[in-house]
Each structure stands twice: as structure tokens, then as C-alpha cells.
């Protein structure tokens, strides 16, 4: 019993220690606190081995972390976190980080998989269309919706779908085909239409579907496994009313010659009137069901052929007479083979934009977004031409400014909040005032929705805040280090030479060889170039381009190059080979041990110069921003990180 009580006490102590560590300040930089929780999280993330969890390692890392926070403080004070570049970069990272925490973790992956699933099935459907232009007025939209609703009621009351399609559909082809679209598969119809067709059962009619063409009712007639793609060659004779009989006789004569053994390619070259393919045996690119909907006879005949080499009987389409030869049938490949190419198609397709818009609407609902439509319309109506010059000032009353514009969750944003935001963000542009103010409103509301979403994710997933802090401070660190250290060190040639002269004893080298190295996978070419160099000929630019790589004359030490280490260190031309690549090394002369020249050691000088600049800079930051370590917080950190 005593043993269990002791274990329970140790457990409570551990929980208390962790709670204390999380709550306590570890250190301050210019009175701004860094909490123990952040340090513990970062330390554990960057250290995995037991050998790293020692007091010495923790102290060493704490010093580095203090220096890091000094740099971040300086970046904040310089306003690096207020630039448009910073905001854009952080938003990009933030959007990626939020994906795992959203309901739609990766929309592109989801849509790609859906498109593949659709590709495995063909749908035969009819539709009735009531057209509507994208820029239609609300009145026109209502009229169109009422019309399609009336048709839907008539169908539900037993009227024939095909008959109504011929009479009322605004798709011109419906008068002739009763709305029948034949078979189709993924990526051949606009996305909302495709999605509805695949969701509707055979024999049933979809709910009203809205696309960029208008409103549709879809009747699904059949669904079948995909036949994949087919690759065919064809001989085409174009026809007209005057030449119809002559063309028909000619195509059958060609067919007879094929049956009697004459070469397909010869007949195609001699007679086919498809100028793009006649000299290539009439071969067409592979195509799937629905891809040649404008010539259904061609598509149907192509898919009806069964064996490669099989030739169709002559047949007529809307563009002329054809004979088709089957080259091959291509089944739908496994998802792993088409994922990359299909993802690119999906990314360009309207389905991604439509789905993103739907996800954005759902996100608004989930976050409790609510607009005050009256106040919104008033403030948007106040935009005038001064907005296009970036000089707009709100001229409405204070009462409107105090009024609610929208709320997100439990936060309310007033018209005044939006006005202040616009006056800071507005820039000269060529949009109309109404379009620009709407664009600004959407940007403002998106910003507040993103903030609310981030707060929600942080509440539910504390690690997300650590990740965002890491990325935020990582961007700032890169920006300030680039300007304060890296660019200075790499561009300051005078400072580099001065640093080299002050530390010349650090740039010693053993015996070296001055050489240049040529590499190629063609041994005979290497021998040819070796003869040229031996004769004292200058290699031409064309010769140099044929090499896999050329490294120009420089000094090499032992261990610096595997190729150099393999050759004899004597002046002249030498060959060696490694991993299927042939090397020609031209050694100019040997270099005695001694001090490296500045040009030789420049990369090393720049690296050391950067370190020197950084040390001096950090020392100046410590004078500028007081650092205070809280011993209580440090002890709690040690207890948490060193516990066994």
C-alpha cells in the first residue's frame, strides 16, 4: 500500500511540475515574456536521443533560444511583421498548416479520387435545360428557376421526360434527340452536372442542378463499367450532297482493296482526306467514351471493334465516310499510375473552384458567420470614384459607423472597423467602385473568418499555436538574417579581405594539386578530347557542351574530391572511372603546403565572416534589449526535461 501511495505522489508531482513549467515565464527580452511551455515544446521537437536531455545540453540550447528571441524582437521593432510580403507568406504557410485540422483536409486529393472513381464508370443520361446567363438579373434567375420547377412538377405528375425535353428544353439538340446525351464519363460535362448524374440512380431524375449554362433536370438511363480508351486509325472521305454517291462508291472500292491485301498505310496516304493523319497511317490519339460526341457513329464503331488490327465496314458520319482500324484498347489504369496527371487536370478544372466556394460557405456556417445585410448594402453603396485613386473617405454618419457589419462566432465587427481597414488598404486600381468595394469587403471578411478559424483550431489543438509561432518567427528570422548577416557577408568583398588578413593563420592547407576535371559517360568521346588536349588544341564550346560536367582549374586538397584522390599527383593528363562515369583530369602543377590564397578560401572566409558578424550583432542586441532569465521557470523546465 505504501508503495502504491508513493507512486501516486510521484505522479501528482510530475503533473504539478509540468503544469508549473507550462504556466511560468522562462525569460524576458525587452520585458516581452517567453514561456517555459514554448521552450519545452521546441527542445523536445529538436532533440530525440536520451543523450541530449542533460543539464549542459538544455543550458546550451537555452542560450541559443535567447539569441533567437533577440533577433525576433529586433525584427518586430523594425516592422518586418507588418509588410505585405510577410502577411502573404505567413498566410500561405497558415493555409497549409490548417488543412489537417479542417473537415476538408485536402480538397484536391479528394476531388482527384472522385474523378478517378467516375472515370471507372460510364453514365448514359438525358437532360432538360432552362438556360441562364452568368450575368443574369435576379428577376431572370427567378423566372428560369420557376420554369424548371414547373417542368419538374409535370414530370412528377407522370408526363414523359423525353416529350418535355423535345418541347421545352433550351438545349438546341433536344428537339432531335429528346435530350439524350449518350454515354459520358468524368471531365466531359461541367462539374455540377457530372456530380449530379453520378449521384442519381438509374431510372431516376436528379434534383434541379444549377451550372454556368442554367438549370437542368437529369434523367439517368444507364450506368456501366468504363470501357477505358480506344486507339484507332481511319481513312476519311469527305462528302457533299453533290458527291454523295461517288464518295460512297469510292469508300467501298478502298474497302475491297483492303480485303484483297493492299497495305492500309498506302491506301490511307493515297485516299484519306484527313491531312493531319494520312501520312501517319491515319492514326488518332486515344479517346474515351463521350470524347467524340459530335460524331457518335465514329465513337460507337471504334468501341465496337474487338481485336487489334480489326477493320470496320465503311460507315457514314456527319463529316463523311470512314473506315476504321482498331490499334488497341486501353483499360482505365490503376489510380497510382494516373494520380499525378489526373491531379493536374482536376487543378485546372472548374470542380476545384466550385468545391472551394462550397467549402468556404460551409466554413462560414461552422464559424457562425452572420451579415447585417442592410448595413452592408449602405456602406458598399457609399463607394465612389475616389476609391479608385486610393483616396476614399467615408462620408456617412457616425450612427452607421457604429452599426454591426457582420459577426464571426462571438465577435462583432462594425461598419467603422471595415471603414478604417479600407482607408489603410485601398490602392489605385482600374476596377469600378462597386467591384472594388465588394472585393475589399470579401478580403476583410475573409481575414476575420481566418482569424476566427485560427482561434478555434488553437483552442481545440494547442500544438497548432506552436506551429504557427514557429513559422511566423521563422519567416522573420530569415528576413532579418538575410539583411543583417548573409547579404552583408556575401556582398562585402572589402570586409571579406579584411577578415581574411586578420585571420590568415586559420586558412592553412596541406599539399595540393591544381587541376581541372572533365566527366562523360562516353569513353570514346573522352579519348578523342584527351588527344586534342595532348596536342595543345583549345577545346571548342561545342566540345565543352558534350561533357557531362566540366570543373575548371582550381586547387584540390586530399579528401576534397574522390576523383582527385584516385589519380597520381603528377602533372599531365590522367583518366579514371567511378560508377559508370569516365573522368579526364588535367593536372597543371603541384602546390606546396602553406597558406591558401584569398580566392581559394573565399567560401570558408564568407562562412567565418558571417559567424563573426552574427556574434557582434547578437552582442549589440543584448545591450539594446535587456534579457532576464526567471530561475523558477528555468528550474521547472529542467525538472520536466531531465525527469527519468
User: What are the respective helix, strand and coil percentages of the chain, to the nearest 5?
Assistant: 55, 20, 25
Residue 213's pLDDT is what?
94
pLDDT band for position 4 (cuts 50, 70, 90): very low
* Same domain, residue pair 132 and 220: yes
Q: Give dist(CA 101, CA 462) in Å, integer.
A: 12
- Backbone phi, then psi, for 28, in 5-degree steps? -125, 145
C-alpha cell at 485: 548577416
Residue 359's pLDDT is what?
82
C-alpha cell at 321: 465516310
Residue 405's pLDDT is what?
95
pLDDT over 50 (residue 42) = yes
Task: List the helix and strand counts (H, then E) for the chain.
Answer: 26, 20
Other C-beta atoms lying within 10 Å of the C-beta of residue 282: 25
Question: What CATH number has the domain bearing residue 245?
Answer: 3.10.50.40
Q: Give dist(CA 140, CA 25) in Å, integer.
A: 63
pLDDT band for position 266 (cuts 50, 70, 90): very high
* Same domain, residue pair 403 and 429: yes
Tell me the β-bridge partners of 416. Answer: none
Specify if 98 maps to a domain: no
Specify if 285 maps to a domain: yes
Contacts of 339 (CB under 8 A, 6+ apart): 112, 116
* Same domain, residue pair 235 and 214: no
Residue 625's pLDDT is what?
96
Residue 13's pLDDT is what?
40
| Mean of pLDDT values over 480-507 | 91
C-alpha closest to that of 306 among 323, 276, 288, 327: 327
Other C-beta atoms lying within 10 Å of the C-beta of residue 132: 21
With the CA atoms of 344, 345, 349 and 352 taken in that order, what torsion angle do they form, in degrees rounded to the nearest 10? Answer: -40
Specify if 434 maps to a domain: yes
C-alpha closest to that of 352 among 118, 95, 106, 119: 106
Instruction: Count Cβ atoms within 10 A of the Cβ of residue 380 and give its class: 0-12 exposed, 13-18 middle, 19 or more buried.
Output: middle
> 100 in helix, strand or coil?
helix
* Same domain, residue pair 193 and 283: no
> 425 in helix, strand or coil?
helix
Residue 22's pLDDT is what?
47
Q: Give dist(CA 466, CA 509) in Å, integer.
A: 46
Residue that wins the pLDDT comparison between 470 and 48: 470
- pTM exceeds 0.75, yes or no: no
499-541 per-position pLDDT tens digit: 999 999 899 989 999 999 999 999 999 999 999 999 888 888 8
* Same domain, residue pair 237 and 188: no
Q: Give dist(CA 256, CA 258) in Å, integer.
A: 5
Residue 108's pLDDT is what?
85
User: Which of 174, 207, 225 delimits the end of a domain?
Assistant: 225
C-alpha cell at 510: 596541406
535-573 per-position pLDDT tens digit: 888 888 888 999 999 999 999 999 889 999 999 999 999
pLDDT over 60 (residue 584) = yes
Instruction: Count Cβ atoms within 10 A of the Cβ of residue 207 and give its class: 0-12 exposed, 13-18 middle, 19 or more buried.
Output: exposed
Contact criterion met (CB below 8 Å) for 629 and 70: no
C-alpha closest to that of 225 among 303, 152, 154, 342: 303
Lowest mean pLDDT among 35-39, 239-243, 381-385, 427-431: 239-243
Contact criterion met (CB below 8 Å) for 229 and 287: yes
pLDDT over 60 (residue 105) = no
Residue 366's pLDDT is what?
87
Contact criterion met (CB below 8 Å) for 508 and 596: yes
User: Which of 225, 245, 270 delimits the end of a domain?
Assistant: 225
- Look at the block and give the residue holding cell 449554362: 213
Specify if 486 maps to a domain: no
- Backbone phi, then psi, for 205, in 5-degree steps? -115, 135
Q: Give dist(CA 484, CA 490) in Å, integer.
A: 11
The DSSP letter of residue 625 is S
- Look at the block and give the residue holding cell 543550458: 59
> 227 in helix, strand or coil?
coil
Range of the domain at 137: 121-225
Residue 106's pLDDT is what?
75
The DSSP letter of residue 485 is I
* Same domain, residue pair 210 and 245: no
Q: Give dist(CA 228, CA 333) in Å, integer.
A: 8
* Interstrand relation of 209-211 and 32-35 (parallel, antiparallel or unpaired): unpaired
pLDDT band for position 3 (cuts 50, 70, 90): very low
The chain-wide mean pLDDT, for the chain, equals 90
> 221 in helix, strand or coil?
strand
Residue 23's pLDDT is what?
60
Contacts of 199 (CB under 8 A, 6+ apart): 206
Contact criterion met (CB below 8 Å) for 226 and 119: yes
Q: Give dist(CA 278, CA 576) in Å, integer.
A: 52
410-427 per-position pLDDT tens digit: 899 999 999 999 999 999
pLDDT > 70: percent of the chain: 96
> 190 in helix, strand or coil?
coil
* Same domain, residue pair 129 and 201: yes
| Mean of pLDDT values over 129-155 | 93
| Mean of pLDDT values over 134-163 | 94
* Interstrand relation of 209-211 and 180-184 (parallel, antiparallel or unpaired): unpaired
pLDDT band for position 283 (cuts 50, 70, 90): very high
Three-state SS for 274-338 is: CCCCHHHCCECCCEECCCCCCCHHHHHHHHHCCCCCCECCCEEECCEEEEEEEEEEECCCCHHHH
pLDDT over 70 (residue 11) = no
Residue 1's pLDDT is what?
40
pLDDT over 70 (residue 10) = no
Residue 16's pLDDT is what?
36
Specify if 308 maps to a domain: yes
Specify if 100 maps to a domain: no
In 561-643, DSSP assigns E strands to 572-578, 581-591, 594-595, 627-629
Taking the chain, what is the end-to-end CA distance rounded to the nearest angstrom? 23
Residue 644's pLDDT is what?
61
612-640 per-position pLDDT tens digit: 999 999 999 999 999 999 999 999 999 99
Residue that wins the pLDDT comparison between 271 and 597: 271
* Same domain, residue pair 204 and 286: no
Total domains, the chain: 5
Instruction: Count Cβ atoms within 10 A of the Cβ of residue 469 and give its class: 0-12 exposed, 13-18 middle, 19 or more buried.
Output: middle
* Same domain, residue pair 286 and 307: yes
Specify if 161 maps to a domain: yes
* Same domain, residue pair 325 and 238: yes
Question: What CATH number has the domain bearing residue 535?
Answer: 3.10.50
pLDDT band for position 102 (cuts 50, 70, 90): low
pLDDT over 80 (residue 261) = yes
pLDDT over 80 (residue 19) = no
User: Which of 225, 241, 260 delimits the end of a domain?
Assistant: 225
pLDDT band for position 371 (cuts 50, 70, 90): very high
pLDDT over 80 (residue 383) = yes
| Mean of pLDDT values over 100-111 | 74
- Backbone phi, then psi, for 518, in 5-degree steps? -110, 140
Residue 134's pLDDT is what?
83
64-74 per-position pLDDT tens digit: 999 999 999 99
Specify if 419 maps to a domain: yes
* Same domain, residue pair 137 and 205: yes
Sheet holding 180-184, edge to edge: 180-184, 121-131, 214-225, 209-211
* Same domain, residue pair 176 and 194: yes
Amino acid at each position: 500500500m505504501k508503495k502504491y501511495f508513493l507512486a501516486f505522489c510521484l505522479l501528482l508531482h510530475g503533473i504539478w511540475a509540468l503544469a508549473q513549467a507550462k504556466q511560468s515565464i522562462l525569460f524576458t527580452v525587452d520585458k516581452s515574456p517567453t514561456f517555459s511551455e514554448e521552450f519545452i515544446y521546441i527542445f523536445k521537437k529538436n532533440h530525440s536521443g536520451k543523450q541530449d536531455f542533460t543539464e549542459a545540453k538544455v543550458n546550451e540550447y537555452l542560450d541559443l533560444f535567447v539569441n533567437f528571441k533577440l533577433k525576433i524582437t529586433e525584427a518586430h521593432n523594425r516592422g518586418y511583421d507588418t509588410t505585405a510580403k510577410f502577411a502573404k507568406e505567413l498566410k500561405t504557410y497558415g493555409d497549409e498548416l490548417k488543412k489537417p485540422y479542417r473537415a476538408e483536409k485536402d480538397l484536391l486529393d479528394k476531388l482527384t479520387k472522385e474523378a478517378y472513381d467516375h472515370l471507372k464508370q460510364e453514365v448514359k443520361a438525358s437532360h432538360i435545360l432552362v438556360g441562364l446567363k452568368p450575368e443574369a438579373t435576379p428577376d431572370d434567375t427567378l423566372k428560369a428557376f420557376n420554369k424548371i420547377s414547373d417542368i419538374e412538377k409535370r414530370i412528377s405528375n407522370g408526363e414523359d421526360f423525353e416529350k418535355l425535353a423535345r418541347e421545352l428544353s433550351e438545349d438546341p439538340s433536344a428537339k432531335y434527340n429528346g435530350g439524350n446525351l449518350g454515354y459520358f464519363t468524368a471531365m466531359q460535362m461541367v462539374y455540377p452536372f457530372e456530380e449530379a448524374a453520378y449521384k442519381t440512380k438509374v431510372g431516376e431524375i436528379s434534383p434541379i442542378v444549377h451550372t454556368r449554362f442554367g438549370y437542368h433536370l437529369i434523367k439517368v438511363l444507364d450506368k456501366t463499367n468504363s470501357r477505358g480508351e480506344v486507339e484507332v486509325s481511319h481513312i476519311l472521305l469527305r462528302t457533299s450532297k453533290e458527291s454523295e454517291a461517288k464518295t460512297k462508291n469510292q469508300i467501298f472500292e478502298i474497302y475491297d482493296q483492303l480485303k484483297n491485301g493492299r497495305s492500309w498505310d498506302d491506301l490511307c496516304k493515297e485516299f484519306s482526306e484527313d491531312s493531319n493523319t494520312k501520312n501517319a497511317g491515319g492514326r488518332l490519339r486515344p479517346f474515351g467514351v463521350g470524347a467524340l460526341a459530335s460524331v457518335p457513329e465514329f465513337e460507337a464503331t471504334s468501341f465496337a471493334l474487338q481485336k487489334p488490327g480489326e477493320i470496320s465496314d465503311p460507315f457514314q458520319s456527319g463529316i463523311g465516310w470512314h473506315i476504321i482500324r482498331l490499334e488497341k484498347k486501353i483499360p482505365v489504369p490503376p489510380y497510382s499510375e494516373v494520380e499525378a496527371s489526373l491531379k493536374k487536370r482536376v487543378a485546372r478544372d472548374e470542380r476545384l473552384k466550385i468545391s472551394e466556394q462550397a467549402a468556404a460557405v460551409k466554413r462560414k456556417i461552422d464559424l457562425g458567420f452572420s451579415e447585417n445585410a442592410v448595413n452592408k448594402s449602405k456602406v458598399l453603396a457609399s463607394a465612389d470614384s475616389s476609391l479608385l485613386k486610393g483616396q476614399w473617405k467615408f462620408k456617412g454618419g457616425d450612427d452607421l459607423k457604429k452599426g454591426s457589419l457582420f459577426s464571426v462566432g462571438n465577435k462583432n465587427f462594425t461598419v467603422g472597423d471595415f471603414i478604417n481597414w479600407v482607408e489603410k488598404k485601398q490602392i489605385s486600381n482600374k476596377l469600378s467602385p462597386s467591384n472594388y468595394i465588394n472585393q475589399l469587403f470579401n478580403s476583410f471578411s475573409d481575414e476575420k473568418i481566418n482569424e476566427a478559424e485560427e482561434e478555434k483550431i488553437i483552442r481545440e489543438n494547442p500544438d497548432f499555436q506552436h506551429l504557427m509561432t514557429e513559422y511566423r518567427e521563422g519567416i522573420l528570422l530569415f528576413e532579418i538574417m538575410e539583411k543583417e548577416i548573409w547579404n552583408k557577408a556575401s556582398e562585402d568583398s572589402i570586409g571579406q579581405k579584411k577578415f581574411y588578413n586578420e585571420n590568415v593563420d586559420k586558412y592553412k592547407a596541406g599539399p595540393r594539386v591544381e587541376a581541372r576535371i572533365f566527366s562523360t559517360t562516353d569513353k570514346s568521346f573522352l579519348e578523342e578530347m584527351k588527344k586534342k588536349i595532348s596536342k595543345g588544341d583549345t577545346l571548342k564550346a561545342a566540345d565543352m557542351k558534350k561533357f557531362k560536367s566540366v570543373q575548371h582549374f582550381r586547387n584540390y586538397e586530399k579528401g576534397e574530391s574522390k576523383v582527385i584522390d584516385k589519380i597520381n599527383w603528377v602533372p599531365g593528363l590522367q583518366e579514371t572511372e567511378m560508377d559508370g562515369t569516365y573522368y579526364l583530369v588535367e593536372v597543371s602543377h603541384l602546390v606546396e603546403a602553406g597558406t591558401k590564397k584569398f580566392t581559394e578560401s573565399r567560401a570558408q572566409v564568407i562562412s567565418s565572416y558571417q559567424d563573426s558578424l552574427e556574434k557582434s550583432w547578437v552582442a549589440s542586441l543584448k545591450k539594446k534589449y535587456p534579457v532576464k532569465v526567471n530561475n523558477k521557470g528555468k528550474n521547472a523546465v529542467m525538472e520536466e526535461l531531465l525527469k527519468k
